[in-house]
Chain A
Amino acid sequence: MRKIYVHRAGPGVTVQDLGREGWLSQGLSRGGAADRLALAEGAALLHQPTELAALEIAGSFLNLEVSAPVRIALTGAPMRAVCDGAPLVWNASHALPGGARLELSGSEGGYSYVHFGGGIDAPVMLGARSAHLAAKLGRMLVAQDSLALGPDSGSRTGMTFTPLPRFNGGLLRLVETPQTRLFSPEQRSRFTQTAFRKDARANRMGQRLVCPSEGFGADTGLSILSETIVPGDVQITGDGAPFVLLSECQTTGGYPRIGTVLPCDLPRLVQAPAHADLHFAFVSMEDAIALERAEADRRDGLGRALRPLIRNLHDIPDLLAYQLVSGVTRGDELEGCKP
């Protein structure tokens, strides 16, 4: 069985897939990758189902070794990726020979993903392989861990694509919640005119935002009935700062929600670096639905947007070892990280 061995792992390295559905009524949120788009991108690069599990690196580092030849893809927040001394291009697929060591470092925050051909064959817990840290399902990886890989029916590597821009903050579009109008028009207006930044305190449950001016509030008191919460909900907690619920959020809560971020904009929030401004804007439900459907179509078409990876010749350490036909490479023949 093909395996990966973890030599070093920073905090926040977990196995993630699309999460588990069907347990909300028992208090367990879906969980799954913080940036679900990055999972779809990795699946497209390796031409395999989006449901397969990958490794998520939450702004730290990871060194691993593969026991046998594997295909990998690198997506999400860019990191410095080195395989046995040779740099690997981010947002691309690569072939690693058996015994290769992969070192990922230099994260500037956000969530990075390593996908493997065949996916990670971690134990299925309540229908998914995702670690759900808040529910104590699974755990962060540590040195000495080893993980099995599933059988890989694909062979193509050396492909790349241009990812959806989402690594510099920007606009987060919202729809209203049943509590939106508990906030005064002035509060709502000020909310959409404020430039927020991410608070350093964040985890897979939610992201607190730093508010440069006074906080926000609705006149609901301390006795509001706990009601269903969904990822993307922007909860205004006691201190007036917005708290955006993410993949591992609680399933119910008693704080009022000023709005809900569209699922297609959540990757922009989770991937925003600490210094980037984030803005909110309400959109109509009709517009929100159209945006979601368009993004779902775009996501389904990722496989058609791939192109062969042409390496910058200066990045190839041993250029003369390659046989170049008319000076053009197809890309994938350069992909063994041990040329």
Chain B
Amino acid sequence: MTPFPDIADTLHWPRVHTIGVDGMLVCFSDRLDEAANRAALAFRKALEDADLQGVLETSTSLASVYLRFDLRMTDHAAMRAALDALLHEDDWYMATLPTGRTLWHVPAVFGTELAPQLDEAAAMAGLSPDQAISALCAEPLRVQAIGFAPGQPYLGQLPPEWDIPRQTGLTPQVPEGALAVAIRQMVLFSVSTPTGWRHVGQTALPLFRPDQPEPFTLRPGDDVQFVAVTREEFENIRRNDTLGGATSQMAD
């Protein structure tokens, strides 16, 4: 294999890149794409089931699968050949969603001083604040990946008018449970953090509870439907409900 495939020279998807010395990345797209996201989730499942010698860990991001392997148990050529064989076993872009997915209903306050960038983000999407709230709560959003911080979902995909860039500057701090938007996605923050995404909503959903038997609330492939509540309703939920008022049911 070519150790450093020049991405500009590679015309076909999926593509396999090296990541560090002991990792590979199987990319199904360089854009956010429903089919590529399903492909990534299904391919990772197949990779786990294949139980290849020397593989230490696998994960998915929005449109790709990462694997890390033990250089003393396998080598790049063997790993690349195994990945190519597995890629040829199926049309991964036609894969169905994983089974056992959960549909979550999550209360959120949009706007107010709790989520001060709703008006700005709505304007960038060409919508009034009320239209924006309706749009963000219109349909369930898919947990396309979990990443950056523990349990933190990338949710999508929003309609094209939400293809708004990140801010050039960073918001110094958004609180845990903040719901922020950019590039047709929402992120629900699991920890308080600086961000370039615009803070449009606030939830009380805990995403990472290490002391619980199930420490991570959401899984890749789950659906999340936001339900707009008033500030008063939200404060009541935050005081009284350890799950932030969220309810869950089988998605399929």
Contacts and interface: CB of A to CB of B under 8 A. Distances in A.
Contacts of B152: 27
Contact of A177 (B19, B76, B182): B19
Interface string B181-199: 0110000001100001000
B137 to A, nearest CB: 24
A256 B169 CA distance: 17
Given A250-B149, A252-B147, A225 B20 contact: no
Best-surrounded residue of B18, B21, B61, B146 (most CB of chain A within 10 A): B21
A245 to B, nearest CB: 10
Contact of B71 (A232, A238, A289): A289
A137 B149 CA distance: 12
A289 B164 CA distance: 41
Residue with the greatest number of chain B CB neighbours at <10 A, chosen from A181, A223, A227: A227
Nearest to B5: A178
A304 B32 CA distance: 52
B149 A293 contact: no
Contacts of A223: 165-166, 182-183
Contacts, number: 143
Interface string A215-231: 00000011101111010
Interface string A184-196: 0000000000000
B17 A21 contact: no
Interface string B138-157: 00000001111111101000
A289 B75 contact: yes
Given A223-B165, A228-B59, A26 B216 contact: yes
Contact of B64 (A26, A227, A293): A227
Interface residues of A, number: 47
Interface in B58-73: 58-64, 66, 68, 71-72
Contacts of A136: 191, 208, 210
B57 interface: yes
B91 interface: no
Contacts of B19: 177-178, 228, 230, 260
A318 interface: no
A123 to B, nearest CB: 10
A175 B25 contact: no
Contacts of B58: 24-25
Contacts of B60: 25
Contact of A21 (B56, B146, B190): B56
Contacts of B56: 21
Interface in B1-54: 3-4, 6-8, 17-23, 25, 27, 30-32, 44
Interface of A: 21-28, 125-126, 134-137, 175-178, 180-181, 221-223, 225-228, 230, 232-233, 238, 250-254, 260, 262-263, 284-286, 288-289, 292-293, 296
10 contacts: A26-B215, A27-B148, A28-B208, A125-B210, A126-B210, A135-B149, A135-B191, A260-B20, A284-B3, A286-B3
